[in-house]
Structure 1
């Protein structure tokens, strides 16, 4: 689609995602704390759970990016938080209701991008959703 305009998504943290994540993390912790297990089992389960949550938070913070752009010629670029812009290749895209999931290869690494409705400009997300649907030919499920 060479006539398609370039799309640049400037990322901002999603309040929806943070609220949902915090709710689920706290609910799981409360469920472990009040399980009908011996006290030692509950403490051990909570410690393991806290370690897993810490590892996931660390991993999410390491994969930091500030913008993703899709040029009219079909090439992708990722602007990282360090200020550098790197070329990327779209491997897969999925549309889940209001969410847009992208899997991009950046060098040797794979970057998974999940765009929530409040994580970028609504018009940019709409244009990206439409273009992904056209490119895939199936309404939003591409595998390349």
Structure 2
């Protein structure tokens, strides 16, 4: 693995994604329409609708608009395999890439462990990053992936 030490660090700072925003609005809207159609008392439907709406606001705030302080705003992958995650609040935390990271040509989800109990996901679509950076990130993930090959998301 000495060849990857010669690579430059990858700085991943996604832009807001219109595709992800539309997907979230459509799926949460569909969930709300199902909640309204459920044969339940109004207070159960109201509670479920509040949960769906809260999920929408949280996901839009963390993955699309980067408004909430605990959302990951930028990730830097150093050549030695270490990750540094910068939160919206400006705080920098050491992170570790989890084996549950999802890589496909159209969608990339970076799952990072940020401390003992906290994890952070960055959803990356083709409209969030420069195509060259996205390609280099996918290649590097497929070649080296996580340095810890334990196969579990448990923290050390």
TM-score band w.r.t. shorter chain: 0.7 to 0.9
1:1-144 to 2 correspondences below 5 Å: 1-33=4-36, 35=37, 37=39, 41=40, 43-56=42-55, 57-58=57-58, 60=62, 61=68, 63-92=70-99, 93-108=101-116, 109-136=118-145, 143=151
TM-score, length-normalised on structure 1? 0.78
Task: Output the CA distance in 2 between the equivalents of 1:30 and 1:87.
Answer: 41
Contact 1:99 1:116 survives alignment (8 Å): yes
Aligned residue for 1:2, secondary structure, equals: helix
Task: Output the CA distance in 2 between the equivalents of 1:122 and 1:8.
Answer: 13
1:62 shift after superposition? 5.5
Gaps of 5+ in 2: 63-67
Higher relative contact order (CA 8 A, sep 6+): 1
Higher strand fraction (1 or 2): 1
1:10 shift after superposition? 0.9
- The count of aligned residue pairs is 136
Q: Radius of gyration: which is bigger?
A: 1
TM-score, length-normalised on structure 2? 0.73
1:125 shift after superposition? 1.1
Gaps of 5+ in 1: none
1:143 shift after superposition? 4.3
